Amino acid sequence: MSTGEELLRSRGLRVTRPRLAVLDVLGGGGHLEVDEITRRVRMRLDSVSTQAVYDILGALSRAGLSRRIEPAGSPARYEARAGDNHHHVVCRGCGEIADVDCATGSAPCLDPNLAHGYEVDEAEVTFWGLCPACRIRRDTDH
């Protein structure tokens, strides 16, 4: 089980137990809030402060090992799937988030007709709708 260590070393990051624990939690998949990440890290290590988890997430994100997303109206979330320019579909009912592959795979996947002279390097695409569970709830509520 050295994949976490190898990942950290490959990005020039010092290997520490809290960093390995955060990587391990993110590796479980999903889009997790910091509180949830901290809770799961503490199940592995006794004393890790929320601030330490924030610092680790910042370092991992800068190193390209995690990605931070922040849909409107939702706290920041982190995921291990980074670097592939995928997008998200967010449920308006419950806030559930799912990954959506990018059709082009590289940023920016949309080209503005008029960029006002900017060199555009990313289009932040978020799809909004109702997840399957919320659709069922809507259809049976009335």
Q: Which residues bind Zn ion (CB under 5 A)?
A: 79, 91, 93-94, 96, 99, 102, 109, 131, 134
CB of 66 to Zn ion, least distance (A): 10
Specify the residue, 5 or 96, whose C-beta has the smaller distance to Zn ion.
Answer: 96
CB of 91 to Zn ion, least distance (A): 3
C-beta nearest to Zn ion: residue:
109
Give the Cα separation of 69 and 19 in Å (integer): 19
CB of 81 to Zn ion, least distance (A): 5
First vs last C-alpha separation in the chain: 52
Report the candidate in 70, 93, 103 with the shortest Cα–Cα distance to residue 141.
Answer: 93
Specify the residue, 56 or 91, whose C-beta has the smaller distance to Zn ion.
Answer: 91
Q: Are 14 and 8 in contact (CB under 8 A)?
A: yes
Q: What angle do CA 95, 96, 102 make, to 5 degrees?
A: 115
CB of 83 to Zn ion, least distance (A): 11
Specify the residue, 19 or 77, whose C-beta has the smaller distance to Zn ion.
Answer: 77
Q: Is 132 helix (H, G, I), strand (E, B) or coil?
A: helix
Give the Cα separation of 100 and 64 in Å (integer): 19
Specify the residue, 36 or 96, whose C-beta has the smaller distance to Zn ion.
Answer: 96
